[in-house]
Structure 1
Amino acid sequence: MACTTILVGKKASYDGSTMIARNDDSASGYFTAKKFVTLRPGEQPATYKSVLSHVTIELPQNPMRFTAVPNAVDGEGIWAASGVNEANVGMTATETITSNARVLGADPLVEYCPAQEGQPETAGGIGEEDIVSLVLPYVHSAREGVQRLGGLLEKYGTYESNGIAFQDVNEIWWLETVGGHHWIARKVPDDVYVVMPNQLGLDRFDLEDALAEKKSHMCSADLREFIEENHLDLSLNGDLNPRDAFGSHDDADHVYNTPRAWFMLRYFNPRTKVWDGPDADFTPRSDDLPWCMVPEKKITPEDVKYALSSHYQGTPYDPYEGHGDPAMKGIFRPIGINRNDCMALIQMRPDVPEEFRAVEWIAFASNAFNVQVPFYANVSVTPDYLANTAKEVSTDNFYWSSRMIAAMADASYGKSVFHIERYQLAVQSKGHALINQYDEKLRREADLAKRAALREQANQEIADMLKKETAETLDKVLIELSSQMKNAYSRSDA
């Protein structure tokens, strides 16, 4: 799937949290309905079988409960997308990334082959459909998540190239697959943020550390031999650049991937580099954009949401811009695209007790027009307004209401954009206020069962607020769009 990821180290965030966030996008021409749910241990199988690749994997005993943002309609598997488990480990999977012919020729992707001509089927590897379900219920730290997924990749392989983020309150790790069975992972430095736009992103990797101390790097056990035998290291000085060795530099990257990274880096570091004009340090087509940077100020959840909602505001490439060169508008793939299915931002807060440390911000549909809302992740059930998404369109759930608001606001952009801005400010302000209120209630409550009930009560109150604000915004953008109908006439019957 085409997605965009932002990772924020604890010294780069406004409150010392680690934050990982990703837009989960459908392929062109598709829209995948999503829901926000909790998956309990009794609902998890002992043996996992992938719908798409038919691979069968025996799972460990005693899985943990975890939140997820799976597909709402059955048919192609779970696609759990993002979540937090009982050990306060967060995960988002996956960011589809690109590789090159040398890597894929040396270690081909493990693709499913159906039975034919008397030969039995051959199972494929694991992929985005499977990864969260196979890893998150069984790990107790971000590092352990990398290790478990790495072992699965080495044993079963993958049929697609992906990047995956893991977090706990102390660390964020980013893993990228290299061919069918190989992988690399790097700990995100605490003082930086990372942007990932559907390309293999790591631009520096310490292979010595990965194969020895594993302090800040990890990789598949035979990666050194794999690189040497297949002549993958393209550096002139021996400093491995994974982006050169394992990634792609196609013309398509320059309209689909690198412009997204350029905008996000430009947003978080507007004065650090020159981003515009003939003397720019980096342009939307630069292949050497940094994987991570120290931001110019500490980053908030609202900053992450704005960056993941980008349609190149303030640049000549904004499709909604009313002036400028028409030939430049819409030439680059937006981050906040029409086919965003969901966004999940996971925030691990260090200044509150572990029991309610994890907050998961959820948004559905096109990020350019939706709103993110916070929920406690350590719960047994999520509010029905976010969990009841079905195939049928309905204003009784957040996903479909968000889809309708986005389509109507896009079609009436000039008249509706201020309704969206007010909607976002109202929900985010009230969401922060309710989390603050319930944090205090939780600190004062000594009884374990009552604290658990309080977290679910908080989530329900947040969902009730969200439903009210969403219905009011839907009404406003419907009026704006209805007023622009081509069969409108100024004379009334009265």
Structure 2
Amino acid sequence: MSCTTILIGKNASYDGSTIIARDDDSGSGRYDPKRLVVVAPEDQPRHYRSVLSHVEIDLPDDPCRYTIAPNVLNNRGILAEAGANEHNVAMSATETIAVNERVLGADPMVELKPAQGEPGDEDYRPEQPGGIGEEDIITLVLPYVKTAREGVVRLGELLETYGTYESNGVIISDVDEIWYVETIGGHHWIARRVPDDCYATIPNQLGIDDFDLADAFGRQREYMCSADLREFMVKYHLDRTMGVPGTSGGRHAHSAGFGSTASAGAAVSAGAHSARRAAAVSAHVSAESTSPNGGDSRDGQIAALVAALPRRFNPRKAFGATTPKDHIYNTPRAWYMQRHLNPSEDWDSPAARYTPESDDIPWCRVPEDKVTLEDVDFLLSSHFEGTPYDPYGTKGTPETRHRYRPIGVNRTGHMVALQIRPYAPACNRTVMWVSFGSGPFTTIAPFYANVDDTPAYLRDTTPEVSTGNLYWTNRLIAVIADAHWYETNSAINGYIERVRAFGHQLVERTDERIIEDGYTEENTGDVRAAVAVLEEANGETGEYLREHTAKLLNSVLYTSSNLMHNSFAMSDRWA
């Protein structure tokens, strides 16, 4: 499993933007070179065929332009990973998650089944394509939607029609909303809107921990899901919601009348759920005993049980999977992100509510302070700084320093934070803050999304090692500096500070030029009128990165060369 995600609602961000960000980490032992490219409408396929699953899909004939950060190699498909379109809709896909065996038994993954035998043979079986996956999702959704909600609906239709062969989380945002979609088995899905005043953290687990079925099948203000989710839950006994516990005469009870650990409203709701479920089961048993054929119709049974479902349930418990490995690989990352954004809470004492191995760390919560891009960059490159679990730290023991999987790992391909700003004109509203390579040794820089081309330093990444592009230069810096963390850290931190400061200055300067020179769509009637200005700004960022990343490579190479084990000089003896 790979990747870590953080989502920032517009009222939780420092400037009112929606911000979605994700590390795209290659699988263990693999390193996927990344690039930044624009897909023009004429280059978007009209008939799509997946490399991995061989599923074939006819696509609409009216795609829009979009900018993405895909793999360089196409051996596993396009794998667009992160992008934004000209309508200021952004996507990041995917966050690998897991569902439990009950879900997989009820709705198996749609996997590619190769052909058996040869055509004309008696036992010949043609190939059976699989569903869609990470390779396909952005390519199939982003060019065709104008709002995040439209993106959720389109993705849901694709999942229900073609299925999927893997469990994924998908993020879709616009200037007003962030939606997080989780696939449930082969064809089902749920989606929750990130509350405006919250951030959400997702570390390779099915994360949504609260879902309102009434809203999902009603006004859909905060929740959406596949059309038959309730029937699916009932038919395969996936709901695990208990009523409010209490005691009555020394016996355990579940009803509104005995709950003492929840609020009155929650108790009434849970008690009502228990009563509805009991009534539904009773009615079902009664129907079985009176029906001439020994039972009511299956549809009638399911309808009664659907009516008895609770309004709210916990998808993490209903659909998710939890194993001891999560406590090494996944939950510590959520713990560290929330520890950073809500620092006044107790995270470290023996009495702490949440520990690195807690399974119930909230999916979303309100931060203590508004969240900045620097917070996002720090967290998605973090390695448990300030704790006994930091692999570069001095606290703890050699064992604790390698106990948990850090967020910033060696095999990160890129981190892209997609910022959609409500105060900017539509033509320059979306900024992609991009870093390539291992997070602790690099940082984000801004690139406007609404362009026709991207700087060569990020666009023309080569499959093989080269200092002519950002990806490989940052990879080389990380490999050299890793062995000499303390000796090279000052130079790396200086680079990070300079690049971030340059980025903010460039965005401010470019935004002002857009307004002052009258490039806004209000003046021109064309949301793409400022493309040349934005490409000029992106080119300036690309050249700044080329110059300063090369200087950083020179610095860490020199410092590390002096620390080689085979170093020797005559002056060592005769100084």
Normalization by structure 2: what TM-score? 0.84
| 1:225-276 C-alpha deviation (Å, 9 max, x unpaired) | 00011111111034410000000111111111000000000000011x3111
Question: For the Cα contact (< 8 Å) 1:135–1:145, is it kept in 2?
Answer: yes
Distance 1:445 1:455 in 2: 13
Specify the structure having the higher radius of gyration (Cα). Answer: 2
* Secondary structure of the structure 2 residue equivalent to 1:20: strand
| 1:6-65 C-alpha deviation (Å, 9 max, x unpaired) | 000000000000000000010000000010111101111100100000000010111000
- Other-structure match for 1:147: 153
- Other-structure match for 1:172: 178
Question: For the Cα contact (< 8 Å) 2:388–2:394, is it kept in 1?
Answer: no
Q: CA deviation at 1:322?
A: 2.6
Does 2:438 align with 1:359? no
* Secondary structure of the structure 1 residue equivalent to 2:471: helix
Distance 1:185 1:409 in 2: 41
- Other-structure match for 1:111: 111
Q: CA deviation at 1:462?
A: 1.0
- Other-structure match for 2:382: 310
Among 422, 426, 442, which residue is 2:514 paired with?
442
Q: CA deviation at 1:185?
A: 0.2
Distance 1:284 1:83 in 2: 31
* Secondary structure of the structure 1 residue equivalent to 2:208: coil
Distance 2:512 2:571 in 1: 55
Question: For the Cα contact (< 8 Å) 1:445–1:451, is it kept in 2?
Answer: no
Q: CA deviation at 1:191?
A: 0.2
Aligned-pair identity (%): 54
Question: For the Cα contact (< 8 Å) 1:343–1:363, is it kept in 2?
Answer: yes
- Other-structure match for 2:21: 21
- Other-structure match for 1:241: 314
- Other-structure match for 2:252: none
Q: CA deviation at 1:102?
A: 0.4
Question: For the Cα contact (< 8 Å) 2:389–2:396, is it kept in 1?
Answer: no
Among 521, 546, 549, which residue is 1:470 paired with?
549
Question: For the Cα contact (< 8 Å) 1:262–1:284, is it kept in 2?
Answer: yes
* Secondary structure of the structure 1 residue equivalent to 2:440: coil
| 1:60-86 C-alpha deviation (Å, 9 max, x unpaired) | 111000010111123111000000001
* Secondary structure of the structure 1 residue equivalent to 2:399: helix
Q: CA deviation at 1:450?
A: 6.4
Q: Which amino acid counterpart does residue 20 of structure 1 have in structure 2? A: I
Does 2:369 align with 1:297? yes
- Other-structure match for 2:567: 488
Does 2:37 align with 1:37? yes
Distance 1:224 1:32 in 2: 40
Does 2:138 align with 1:132? yes
Question: For the Cα contact (< 8 Å) 2:427–2:529, is it kept in 1?
Answer: no
Among 259, 267, 280, which residue is 2:352 paired with?
280
Q: CA deviation at 1:408?
A: 1.0
Does 2:267 align with 1:194? no
Distance 2:499 2:162 in 1: 43
How many pairs align?
A: 493
Question: For the Cα contact (< 8 Å) 1:73–1:390, is it kept in 2?
Answer: no
| 1:327-350 C-alpha deviation (Å, 9 max, x unpaired) | 211111110000001110000011
Question: For the Cα contact (< 8 Å) 1:193–1:293, is it kept in 2?
Answer: yes
* Secondary structure of the structure 2 residue equivalent to 1:185: strand
Query: Which runs of 5 or more structure 2 residues have no equivalent in the other structure?
Result: 118-123, 244-309
Among 215, 231, 254, which residue is 1:209 paired with?
215
Q: Which amino acid counterpart does residue 47 of structure 2 have in structure 1? A: T
- Other-structure match for 2:498: 426
Distance 1:93 1:138 in 2: 16
Q: CA deviation at 1:478?
A: 0.6
Does 2:347 align with 1:268? no
| 1:105-157 C-alpha deviation (Å, 9 max, x unpaired) | 10001011111232111100000000000000000000000000000000000
* Secondary structure of the structure 2 residue equivalent to 1:129: coil
Distance 1:74 1:164 in 2: 21
Distance 1:443 1:419 in 2: 37
Distance 1:78 1:301 in 2: 28
Query: Which runs of 5 or more structure 1 residues have no equivalent in the other structure?
Result: none
Q: CA deviation at 1:323?
A: 4.1
* Secondary structure of the structure 2 residue equivalent to 1:72: coil
Q: CA deviation at 1:492?
A: 4.1
- Other-structure match for 1:384: 456
* Secondary structure of the structure 2 residue equivalent to 1:165: strand
Distance 1:412 1:491 in 2: 24
- Other-structure match for 2:470: 398
Does 2:558 align with 1:479? yes
- Other-structure match for 2:238: 232
